Amino acid sequence: MPTEPSTTRKPVTQPLTPPPELLAREQRPRTPLPGWWRWALLAAVLVLAGGVALLLLRSNDPRADTRPIEVVKGFAAALAAKDADAMLGYVEPTVFRREISPEVRAYVEYLEAVRFDNPRYELLDNDGERAHVRWTATMQYTLNLGDTRKSGERTIDTTFELTKFEGTWYLRNAKLPDA
């Protein structure tokens, strides 16, 4: 079957008709909120403003901050675990910490066993930047001095001075009781 070119013409198409104009939004006059909505909105704003004011204006009581006590507890736990690195982690990050690091590590090697009975921690004062914590306990220890071993029991009554550095509390000083 031979293919013959078609002699029929394509029907004439006209340009597309433009789309109908977009319907403009109806401009209705705005009705005010009902009375109860106004009161609910006002109450929500007042509650939010009161919460923000309470949060910003309340006085932060440093005496309620227990973090200095937790630092002393952590130091005591590190001492009981004979972990010199953990003990030094509680000391203020200054040159002093680097200076005492070898001594602390040497002393910890002499500790064969150490245990603290009846520990008590008391926050003496806290101004938000410096704090004093009193630690009392009964320490039972065994020292291994190479040729000799020494065991004993001793009462601990120490007041630690702590300082806050970049939001974290560190041990700065320890005051031992007068003998």
Write the DSSP assignment of 33-48 as a string of letters: PPHHHHHHHHHHHHHH
Of 179, 72, 56, nearest in space to 121 by CA:
72
Total structural domains within the chain: 1
pTM for the full predicted model: 0.64
- pLDDT value at 32 more than 70: no
Euclidean distance between CA atoms 175 and 166, whole angstroms: 24
Burial tier of 37 (Cβ tally within 10 Å: 0-12, 13-18, 19+): exposed
- 3-class state of residue 82 by DSSP: coil
Which CATH number characterizes residue 106's domain? Answer: 3.10.450.50
- Whether 126 maps to a domain, the answer reads yes
> pLDDT tens digits for 83-141?
999 999 999 988 888 888 889 888 889 889 999 999 999 999 998 899 999 999 999 99
Q: Does residue 79 contact residue 87 with C-beta atoms inside 8 Å? A: yes
- pLDDT value at 24 more than 60: no
- Whether 115 maps to a domain, the answer reads yes
- Whether 101 maps to a domain, the answer reads yes
- Whether 138 maps to a domain, the answer reads yes
- Whether 118 maps to a domain, the answer reads yes
- Whether 15 maps to a domain, the answer reads no
- Whether 36 maps to a domain, the answer reads no
Position 26 scores a pLDDT of: 62
Position 157 scores a pLDDT of: 93
- Whether 134 maps to a domain, the answer reads yes
Range of the domain at 139: 64-175
